[in-house]
Amino acid sequence: MATREDETDAAEKGIATDKAGEKNDIDRGLGDTLLEPKTDTPEHIYPDGGWRAWLVVTAAFFTFFFTVGLQYCSGTYIRFFYYNQTFGSASFTVISFISSVNNSGFPIAGPIVGSLAESKGPRFTVILGGIIAGASYIIASFSPGIWFSILFQGFFFSVGEVMVYMAGVRIVSMYFNRVRGLALGVALGGSGIGGLVMAVVTQRLLDTAGWQWALRVEGIVVVATALLASLLFTSIQPPNPRRVSLLASARSYFRDSRFVILWISNAIAFFGYFIPFSYLPSYATQVGIDASRASLVLGITNGGSAAGRIALGYFADKFGYLNMYVLCQIITPVAMLFWPITTSFPGLIAFGLAYGFSAGGWISSQPTMLASAFGGDNITGRLGVIMSATLAGALGGSPLAGAILDSRTTYDETGKAVIDFVPMILFGGITMLVGNLMLVWVWGQSTRWRLKKV
């Protein structure tokens, strides 16, 4: 039988162990620390349905609608700024930095915001993100020049956007497990449908109210939507405020060779991913389609993205998250390589639907794929690190594409620009194909090269 002295010794040893553990955490010296989110535990019960859970999905849907959806219709602004010479003689290369810098918010802020969404909670994150994103559009409406627009309409909007995105992914993941793919697909479908609707709405605002009021109206709507959605973003899984190094967390992820290849794959493929969203309206105008229908082509592409997010989320629950992720990664660049042969409005609609469907499934299946392949703990933390891989492609993809267009631009006898888009399209399609084919190895290592649900 243990004596009182034995119990006292044990208690003192426990205290000493705790202090030693705390000291080890401090002595790691791996840079600034962040709050590591609490991992999923068996005690956490997922509602997996019910009106309350689906109401949360609806709220997330509308936050994506007015943030990621606006990002996906940035090509409408690029076409308007270029052909109306809003910023003087600014070239495609320069104007496209609005889109590329906008895309950079996910890789730059993703790792930090992923931890923020888990440690501070989805409600705090969506409010902060909505205010930053909306205010950025409003401030951009007073832009004195192109670089001011790049900073606010591009970068600061994207920082707020990624906060809203991570908050939505986190809150939906709290409420769903068995049908998480479908639930996230429906929520993320808001970005595609938002791109469909907002491409047309943005063009109408540009035509009737001008670019400055278009930005102001959309900025106000972004803030209002985030504040309303926050009322439903109620956490049912409390965070764990245990401090660890961000670099230590990332290092643990990269110990898995599959994660390394996945990171490299995204780094290469994202040089081409956003090119259609940036240049489809300009391409449509070049082949003789008017501005309103050119914006509709981009809208239809985003509509296809919404359908892909929902449908492939459903099929991922049935056939495996990694399986559907790799399938989308292969189909997307193949679809893009058919772009140069589409020179009519119906042809561009068909291309937009095909590309949008597979590209939408690519993005929506990423969170569930990470949970399936690497475990359900810290989904947004892993997602943030994967997003960091896309920085070079997100920043450089559209400007490189714009530089290719500038180099392939001539002028006819009337002074009208004649642009050869084929080299740019091949650049985007080939970079995506090279990057995405690497995922076949990840799939093989995860399945032992056998067809099965994974």
- Angle (CA) 300-134-283 rounded to 5° is 30
Give pLDDT, residue 239: 64
Give pLDDT, residue 41: 44
Give pLDDT, residue 36: 37
d(CA 68, CA 61): 10
d(CA 315, CA 49): 18
> At CB < 8 A and 24+ separation, what contacts does 83-90 make?
83/285, 86/211, 87/145, 87/146, 87/149, 90/146
d(CA 36, CA 31): 14
In single-letter form, the type of residue at position 195 comes to: G
DSSP 416: -
Asked if residue 12 is part of any domain, the answer here is: no
Is there a contact between 401 and 350 (Cβ–Cβ < 8 Å)? no
Say what the pTM is.
Answer: 0.74
Give pLDDT, residue 208: 95
Report the Cα 161 to chain-centroid distance in Å. 9
Give pLDDT, residue 23: 42
Give pLDDT, residue 44: 63
Q: What is the 3-state secondary structure (H, E, C) of 360-429?
A: HHHHHCHHHHHHHHHCCCCHHHHHHHHHHCCHHHHHHHHHHHHHHHHHCEEECCCCCEEECCHHHHHHHH
- Dihedral of the CA atoms 429, 435, 441, 443 (nearest 10)? -70
Give pLDDT, residue 380: 76
Give pLDDT, residue 205: 96
Give pLDDT, residue 451: 82
d(CA 326, CA 362): 8
In single-letter form, the type of residue at position 204 comes to: R
Q: Which residues touch 234 (CB under 8 Å, ≥6 apart)?
A: 56, 123
Q: Which residues touch 337 (CB under 8 Å, ≥6 apart)?
A: 425, 426, 429, 433
Give pLDDT, residue 244: 53
d(CA 126, CA 59): 11
Q: Show the tokens assigned to 196.
A: 């469909």
d(CA 309, CA 296): 20
Asked if residue 276 is part of any domain, the answer here is: yes
d(CA 97, CA 103): 9
The total of structural domains in the chain comes to 1
Is there a contact between 150 and 139 (Cβ–Cβ < 8 Å)? no
Owning domain of residue 61? 48-447
Give pLDDT, residue 245: 62
First to last CA, the chain: 51
For position 92, which CATH number holds?
1.20.1250.20
d(CA 242, CA 221): 36
Give pLDDT, residue 377: 67
d(CA 94, CA 82): 10
In this structure, what are the phi and psi dihedrals at residue 310, rounded to the nearest 5 degrees?
Answer: -75, -50
In this structure, what are the phi and psi dihedrals at residue 89, rounded to the nearest 5 degrees?
Answer: -95, 25
Give pLDDT, residue 21: 46
In this structure, what are the phi and psi dihedrals at residue 31, rounded to the nearest 5 degrees?
Answer: 100, -170
In single-letter form, the type of residue at position 377 comes to: D
**pLDDT per residue rounded down to tens, the chain (454 residues):** 444 444 445 444 444 444 444 444 434 333 333 333 344 444 567 888 889 999 999 999 999 999 999 998 888 899 899 889 899 888 888 998 898 888 888 888 887 887 777 778 899 999 999 999 999 999 999 999 999 999 999 999 999 999 999 999 989 988 998 888 899 989 988 988 998 899 889 999 999 999 999 999 999 999 999 999 999 998 887 765 555 566 777 888 899 999 999 999 999 999 999 899 889 989 999 999 998 898 889 889 988 988 988 888 888 888 988 899 999 988 999 999 899 999 999 999 999 999 999 988 887 788 888 888 887 667 777 888 888 898 888 888 888 998 999 999 888 888 888 899 999 999 999 999 999 999 889 888 888 888 888 7
CB atoms < 10 A from the CB of 74, how many? 27
Give pLDDT, residue 177: 84
